[in-house]
Amino acid sequence: MVTQVGLAGCSEIAAAKHNLATAGEWAADAEKFAQNAMKKVEEERKYLQSVEEKWKVIDVDNEDDQQKKKKQKTNKELTSSNRDNLNNKHNHFCGDQVERKNQKVAEEKRNCWRQELSKATIKLNGTLSFSDRHNLRKHVIKGKWEIGTLTGPFHLTRTIATAETLEDLPKDGEYYGSFSSIYGYVIKERAKLTFKPSNDGIKDTFVVNGRGTNECGMFKLTGSAKRNTGKKYGISMHKKYFSI
Does residue 89 carry a pLDDT above 70?
no
Residues 104 and 203 occupy one common structural domain = no
At CA 138, angle to CA 135 and CA 141, rounded to 5?
140
Q: Output helix, strand, coil percentages for the chain, rounded to the nearest 5.
A: 50, 35, 15
Tell me how far apart the alpha carbons of residues 236 and 124 are, in angstroms, rounded to a whole number: 6
Per-residue pLDDT band for 243 (boundaries 50, 70, 90) equals: low
Total-model pTM = 0.56
Closest CA to 224 of 238, 211, 212: 238
Residues 95 and 135 occupy one common structural domain = no
Q: What distance separates the 2 farthest-apart alpha carbons in the chain?
A: 192
Residues 108 and 128 occupy one common structural domain = no
Answer yes or no: is 13 within a domain: no
Residues 114 and 141 occupy one common structural domain = no
Could you give the C-alpha distances from 173 to 128, 210, 212, 221, in angstroms and in order? 13, 10, 12, 14
Residues 142 and 191 occupy one common structural domain = yes
Answer yes or no: is 18 within a domain: no
Residues 132 and 230 occupy one common structural domain = yes
Q: Mark which of 99, 119, 139 sits at the end of a domain.
A: 119
Residues 159 and 206 occupy one common structural domain = yes
Answer yes or no: is 80 within a domain: yes
Per-residue pLDDT band for 215 (boundaries 50, 70, 90) equals: confident
Count of other CB atoms within 10 angstroms of residue 191? 22
Residues 129 and 227 occupy one common structural domain = yes
Q: Is 173 helix (H, G, I), strand (E, B) or coil?
A: strand
Per-residue pLDDT band for 71 (boundaries 50, 70, 90) equals: low
Structural domain span for residue 87: 28-119
